């Protein structure tokens, strides 16, 4: 009886095992890596394989010490002799975040656990460790012992053996250092040992803001290399790539303080410096009450525009000087930053005679010669004549609007030129010089060209007939224009005239702020396609330097440090005269006159 019971129990157990669900079969979980020693910047592949597991391992802890570059998963299920077996494999491409020993933690699922794995991350060049990719980074400095606030050019060099596909360096973030990107230096070939490398160079201008030792932390540069093992498609001709990251070594700068030999109130350490100036008209023929514009430009190599000192206008008896808002600009080149500060002063003589502006001096520290230097703008002497009558002044304004060239200026394009090519003219071309003299000599009165009296009325008849024919031709041409365009032009003309009448009324009120606003509204209606951005530009477009100086003086009175009662009615009169002269020209040209 006992034998029968035993046989039945064994049979039942065998049946239970035969029909046991796959979920009850013991599972497994395993983690492996392709290698346990990697060079900094190289990735490592991690494989996690599981069999007959209902749960999935939690891999979020990997992000603590690794950057997950890529992950791929595969699943499979088979049934053998009535038993279902399922398995999965997850492949991670991991990039260690720091040097030294890094641990891949243990993973668990359904009570199964993997063993932790230790990864050794070593520097490139470690003995006995062959790099998988011949790609590495270096940094160099043109000066490792700079003065505080002086320029240091840092070069980032990426070397590769031709396998590099992409690279994306970003400007470094360095505490207590201002960083400016410089133009790319290009590529070159360099041989080290038996290997030829391509050298890619990026350049940055560093400006340390404190003295002492400043640490330059390692730069991490992401990129990719060509790797046929990562797939690709020969038909589509795309190249398989693998992501990498290269890292520079830490460095430091020993920053020196301002030297005791410096006597300047404003510390300005640069490689080169130039101080130039230019007048809008001849200062040897100035007139009481007529404003002039003096442009002073300070240009440096090896400094930012914010480092350049403000040049204050002097206070001179008999002269009223109103500074405009300074223009700051910087332009990078291969040697660093070229920066410029441009000051514009409206200078108004208040009495006749000889008036002098004292020299302007700027002290700076020559970082190449390591000495202090001084640059001086020479004394300026104005020969001022007494103001003329109103009629004579109006005639002079008319003549200036017709024959005077637009004043030269130091514009933004100057900063992109090489420092040695900066314009060093000390004064604009004299508008009453030889050119005007030639024009005057070639001008004759209308009486000299009239024919004899016997042919006088015939000539008048021919002129009248030509005018009548011209009128018919003009009417025919305008009749062919589209009505929409004609209506639009008529509307612009009407609006401009209306705004001009409003400007005149505002000018009589004496409110400079409202007058400027009304002036810009009129300019918008007069030039709807390209509206001037400032009052001074209106004078430039009308080719009248006197009007330009007065409009610049208007801005100075509103935004300068001193207040001034600007003669608004005179500005309006000069504007009206210039408009009348431009309307009489056969062809309108709003562009400023070129430099003579």
> In the prediction, which pLDDT does 404 show?
36
Mean pLDDT of the chain: 76
Q: What's the pLDDT score for residue 374?
A: 95
Q: Is the pLDDT of residue 211 over 90?
A: yes
- Answer for the pair 96, 87: CB distance below 8 angstroms, yes or no: no
Report phi then psi at 376, rounded to 5: -130, 135
> What pLDDT does 158 receive?
92
Higher pLDDT, 447 or 175: 175
User: Domain residue spans in the chain?
Assistant: 21-122, 135-255, 269-431, 485-596
In this structure, of 77-91, 160-174, 402-416, 460-474, the range with the lowest mean pLDDT score is 402-416
CATH code of domain 135-255: 2.60.40
Please say if the pLDDT value at position 433 is more than 50. no
pLDDT category at 522 given cuts 50, 70, 90 is confident
- The residue written with tokens 């997850």 in the block is 90
- Supply the pLDDT for residue 238: 57
Q: Which tens digits make up the pLDDT trace of 89-133?
A: 888 888 888 888 888 888 888 888 888 889 888 887 787 777 777
Q: Residue 461 has what pLDDT?
A: 64
Average pLDDT over every residue of 192-198? 87
Alpha helices by DSSP H, listed for 442-480, are 456-479
What confidence tier does 595 reach under pLDDT thresholds 50, 70, 90? very low
Q: Please check the confidence at residue 520 and state whether its pLDDT lies above 70.
A: yes
In the block, which residue shows the tokens 């490792």? 144
- pLDDT of res. 565: 63
The class (CATH top level) of 21-122 is mainly beta
Token output for 163: 């396998």
pLDDT given for residue 537 in this prediction: 82
Q: What is the DSSP string of 319-382?
A: EEEEEPPPEEEEEEETTEEEEEEEEEEEEEE-SSEEEEEPPEEEEEEETTTTEEEEEEEPPEEE
- Looking at per-residue pLDDT, the higher value among 451 and 226 belongs to 226
pLDDT of residue 7: 59
- Ranking 324-328, 458-462, 497-501 by mean pLDDT, the lowest is 458-462
Q: For residue range 467-505, what is the model confidence (pLDDT) as tens digits?
A: 767 777 776 666 555 444 444 445 556 677 878 888 887
Higher-pLDDT residue of 566, 289? 289
pLDDT for 462 beyond 60: yes
Locate 178 and state its tokens. 């201002």
Q: Are strands 286-287 and 272-279 parallel, antiparallel or unpaired?
A: unpaired
pLDDT confidence bin for 298, thresholds 50/70/90: very high
Task: Tell me the helix, strand and coil percentages in the chain, rounded to 5.
Answer: 30, 35, 35
> Nearest Cα to 286, choosing from 357, 336, 374?
357
**DSSP element (H, E) containing 90:** strand 83-96
pLDDT surpasses 90 at 390: no
Please compute the mean of the pLDDT values over residues 409-430 and round it to a whole number.
38
Same fold for the pair 21-122 and 135-255 = yes
Q: Which residue has the higher pLDDT, 466 or 157?
A: 157
Kindly report which listed range (9-13, 139-143, 273-277, 389-393) carries the lowest average pLDDT score. Answer: 389-393
Percent of the chain with pLDDT strictly greater than 70: 73
Please indicate whether residue 410 or residue 321 has the higher confidence score (pLDDT).
Answer: 321
The answer on pLDDT for 402 being more than 60 is no
Please write the tens of the pLDDT for every residue from 126-138.
877 777 778 889 9
């Amino acid at each position: 009886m006992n034998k029968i019971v035993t046989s039945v129990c064994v049979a039942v157990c065998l049946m239970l095992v035969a029909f046991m669900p796959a979920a009850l079969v013991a599972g497994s979980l395993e983690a492996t890596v392709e290698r346990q020693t990697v060079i900094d910047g190289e990735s490592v592949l991690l494989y996690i394989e599981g069999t007959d597991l209902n749960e999935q391992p939690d891999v979020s802890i990997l992000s603590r010490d690794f950057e997950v570059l890529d992950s791929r998963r595969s699943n499979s299920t088979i049934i053998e002799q009535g038993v279902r077996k399922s398995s999965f494999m997850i492949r991670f491409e991991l990039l260690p975040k720091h040097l030294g020993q890094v641990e891949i933690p243990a993973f668990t699922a359904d009570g199964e656990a993997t063993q932790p794995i230790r990864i050794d991350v070593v520097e490139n060049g470690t003995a006995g460790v062959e790099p998988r990719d011949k790609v590495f980074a270096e940094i160099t400095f043109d000066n490792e012992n700079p003065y505080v606030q002086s320029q240091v050019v840092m070069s980032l060099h990426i070397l590769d053996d031709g396998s590099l596909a992409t690279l994306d360096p970003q400007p470094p973030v360095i505490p207590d250092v201002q960083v400016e990107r410089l133009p790319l230096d290009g590529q070159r070939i360099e041989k080290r040992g038996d290997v030829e490398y391509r050298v890619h160079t990026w350049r940055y201008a560093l400006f340390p803001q404190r003295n002492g030792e400043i640490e330059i932390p390692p730069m991490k540069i992401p990129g990719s290399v060509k790797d046929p093992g990562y797939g690709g498609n020969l038909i589509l001709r795309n190249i398989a790539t693998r992501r990498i990251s290269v890292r520079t070594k830490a460095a430091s700068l020993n920053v020196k303080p301002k030297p005791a030999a410096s006597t300047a109130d404003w510390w300005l350490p640069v490689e080169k410096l130039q101080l130039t100036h230019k007048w809008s008209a001849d200062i040897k023929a100035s007139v009481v009450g007529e404003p002039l514009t003096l442009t002073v430009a300070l240009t440096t190599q090896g400094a930012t525009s914010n480092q350049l000192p403000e040049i204050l206008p002097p206070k001179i008896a008999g002269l009223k000087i109103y500074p405009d808002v300074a223009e700051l600009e910087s332009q990078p080149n291969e040697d660093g930053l070229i920066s410029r500060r441009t000051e514009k002063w409206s200078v108004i003589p208040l009495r006749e005679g000889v008036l002098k502006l004292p020299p302007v001096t700027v002290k700076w520290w020559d970082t190449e010669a390591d000495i202090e230097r001084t640059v001086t703008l020479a004394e300026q002497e104005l020969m001022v004549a007494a103001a003329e009558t109103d009629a004579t002044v109006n005639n002079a304004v008319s003549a200036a609007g017709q024959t005077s060239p637009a004043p030269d200026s130091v514009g933004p394009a100057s900063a992109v030129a090489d420092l040695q090519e900066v314009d060093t003219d000390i004064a604009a071309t004299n508008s009453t010089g030889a050119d005007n003299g030639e024009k005057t000599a070639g001008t004759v009165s209308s009486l000299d060209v009239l024919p004899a009296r016997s042919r006088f009325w015939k000539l008048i008849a021919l002129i009248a007939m030509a005018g009548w024919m011209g009128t018919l031709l003009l009417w025919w041409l305008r009749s062919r224009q589209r009505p929409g365009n004609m209506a639009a032009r008529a509307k612009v003309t009407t609006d401009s005239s209306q705004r001009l009448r409003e400007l005149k009324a505002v000018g009589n009120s004496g409110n400079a702020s409202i007058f400027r606003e009304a002036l810009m509204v009129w300019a918008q209606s007069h030039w709807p396609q390209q509206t001037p951005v400032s009052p001074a530009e209106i004078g430039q477009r009308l080719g009248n330097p006197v009007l330009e100086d007065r409009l610049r003086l208007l801005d100075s009175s509103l935004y300068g440090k001193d207040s001034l009662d600007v003669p608004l009615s005179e500005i309006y009169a000069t504007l009206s005269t210039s408009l009348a002269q431009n309307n009489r020209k056969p062809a309108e040209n709003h562009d400023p006159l070129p430099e003579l």
